[in-house]
Structure 1
Amino acid sequence: MKRQRARRLGELLKKEISDIILREVKDPRIGFISVTDVEVSNDLRHAKVFVSVYGDEKERKETMEGLEKATGYIRKLIGERVKVYYTPEILFRYDDSLEHGARINELLKKVKEEEESDREEG
């Protein structure tokens, strides 16, 4: 039961945090990001928010710094929007799964091209 509540709250937080970052947070350091997942602890007091940042390493670092600075403001707005007894502490984490997936696709494409060139030669 607790796990299901944590999962439902995570989905709700994902939607609300995405909206808050898009519409409410005005920090110029925060670039184009996507909230990829939110993991909420079983006691509903902590939420890890995984974000994917589009851009180079400098933009990623600045975006993560901006999110860290805006955490209190985001948590305050979550408290106003989501009716829970205790508003979870928010911790932002960089999610590199999209980059990892793109790298795997790149490697698979390279292998396929090499196989095709080997067939043409042999």
Structure 2
Amino acid sequence: MKSINLQRTESLLLELVPEALSNLSDTRINSLAITAIDCKNGKYDATVYYDGSDYSKQEQQAINTLLAKANGHIKSYCLNATGWYKCPNFKFKADDSLEHNMKIEALFEQIKSKD
């Protein structure tokens, strides 16, 4: 179970990271849908999950590279918006849970139709 402070941090970052991305000029990442943020080690590390269902593995790797390059801008934006002394190190991953859920639902539909 995560502490309330850590959950608040994740919630705030879930608002700030998309705002920071929207300020970028690169159209491949400035409208990227952020689905979740998972903070570890207090506020020192955070994994940012984005909706990767529309992208191939190669495109996801390219997006991860672009996001890694924009990491400094995102951290600066978060620091300015919050007044924090330190901002987490962001790592970016495609969130494929939606795709998995859709596959599971399709399997349930197949099972249901066989009955």
Instruction: Return the TM-score normalized by structure 2.
Output: 0.83
Match of 1:39, SS? strand
User: Could you tell me which residue of structure 1 aligns to residue 81 of structure 2?
Assistant: 81
1:1-122 to 2 correspondences below 5 Å: 3-21=3-21, 23-30=22-29, 33-57=32-56, 58-115=58-115
- Measured at CA, do residues 32 and 79 of structure 1 come closer, stay the same or move farther in structure 2, by a change above 3 Å? closer
Aligned residues: 113
- Measured at CA, do residues 33 and 103 of structure 1 come closer, stay the same or move farther in structure 2, by a change above 3 Å? farther
Distance in 2, matches of 1:98 and 1:52, equals 8
Contact residue 53 and residue 96 of structure 2 kept, 8 A = no
Match of 1:33, SS? coil
- Measured at CA, do residues 64 and 51 of structure 1 come closer, stay the same or move farther in structure 2, by a change above 3 Å? same
4+ residue segments displaced more than 6 Å: none
How big is each residue's C-alpha offset from its partner over 1:64-110, in whole Å with a ceiling of 9 and x where there is no partner? 22212211111111111122221111111221111111111111112
Structure with greater Cα Rg: 1
Contact residue 31 and residue 54 of structure 1 kept, 8 A = no
Contact residue 39 and residue 45 of structure 2 kept, 8 A = yes
Match of 2:71, SS? helix
- Measured at CA, do residues 47 and 15 of structure 1 come closer, stay the same or move farther in structure 2, by a change above 3 Å? same
Distance in 1, matches of 2:32 and 2:39, equals 20
Q: In structure 2, what residue type is equivalent to 1:112?
A: K
- Measured at CA, do residues 36 and 113 of structure 1 come closer, stay the same or move farther in structure 2, by a change above 3 Å? same
* More helix as a share of residues: 1
User: How far has the Cα of 1:32 moved from its partner?
Assistant: 5.3
Distance in 2, matches of 1:32 and 1:101, equals 23
